[in-house]
Structure 1
Amino acid sequence: MTALVIGADYLGGMEQKMRDMGITEIAHITGRNPGEVKRMHIPKAAAFVLVFTDYINHNMAKVVKSHAKAQSVPLVYAKRSWSAVEHKLVGLGL
């Protein structure tokens, strides 16, 4: 399963915990730089997009939402803490 993670400068130990839940490939975009908005795309194989709400600019959030809606990819918003992410991913069915 592939996931796109947007927000945060680095994922740290969260990346391994996501892999333990069955996510084999993780694409990451920091979401802080304005230039990333133009280059942002959701991989075709992405099962969902995880957005860290406390580490993303407003324009990126708007663009991600429209891309996810256009491609019918589930969008998950969470704070950058493993307990919040795990709760959201379990709710998604992982």
Structure 2
Amino acid sequence: MAKRPALPLAELRRRYDALGAIEDMAFERTSIGRCATWAGFLQAGERYSAAIRSASISEHELAHNPALIELILEAWPGPALPPTEWPRLEGMR
């Protein structure tokens, strides 16, 4: 867990558990799957929150589990991720 969530851990855990089983999208590996366990949620939540706010997550993924998305954004408020360049392959232009 890089940055502590804005919510008290006991409250966050209670609300996380209330979401029930978190399943990734069929035939896809997304950040939702990384949040399927409490430990994964704490580890991936901050980065996932920033990615959501920077519009790096598809609408399809956001619609898959809106309650999880809402909890992540509330637990890790803050700025969007800065844009990053794609790595260039050597010898290609």
Structure 2 length-normalised TM? 0.32
Q: Which has the higher strand share?
A: 1
Higher helix fraction: Structure 1 or Structure 2? 2
Indicate the structure (1 or 2) with the bigger Cα radius of gyration.
2
TM-score by length of 1: 0.31
